[in-house]
Amino acid sequence: MNQSNSEVRPVIETWAVFDIAVILLSIVLGLIAVQSQEILQAIVAFFFMSMTVAVMFYLMGAIYAAVFQVLVYGGFLFVLLLVTFQTIRRQ
């Protein structure tokens, strides 16, 4: 008997499950960011969505794109958060 034929192989690999989970989390966070009525909640959801996009870049092997994503969107969201706080204080 050949033992290689009796070996059970998983239907989907573990790394694929992690990739799908990151993609779904990114989609859910994007929807929360778009549909949220509160600006701070939308900014936080957008921040975490952009971090999941950076994780996807890293998983694909595009390390420079992941670092660029974190630096650019991190800086952008920091400035957006400061402007939001200034606007909320005035009202």
Over residues 47-76, the pLDDT tens digits come to: 899 999 999 999 889 999 999 999 988 888
pLDDT of residue 28: 94
pLDDT band at 2; cut points 50, 70, 90: low
Q: What is the mean pLDDT of residues 14-18?
A: 80
Statement: the pTM of the whole predicted model exceeds 0.85: no
Q: Is residue 46 pLDDT above 70, yes or no?
A: yes
List the alpha helices (DSSP H) in 1-91. Answer: 3-6, 14-35, 39-59, 63-90
- Find the mean pLDDT for residues 9-18: 75
Contacts of 32 (CB under 8 A, 6+ apart): 41, 42, 45
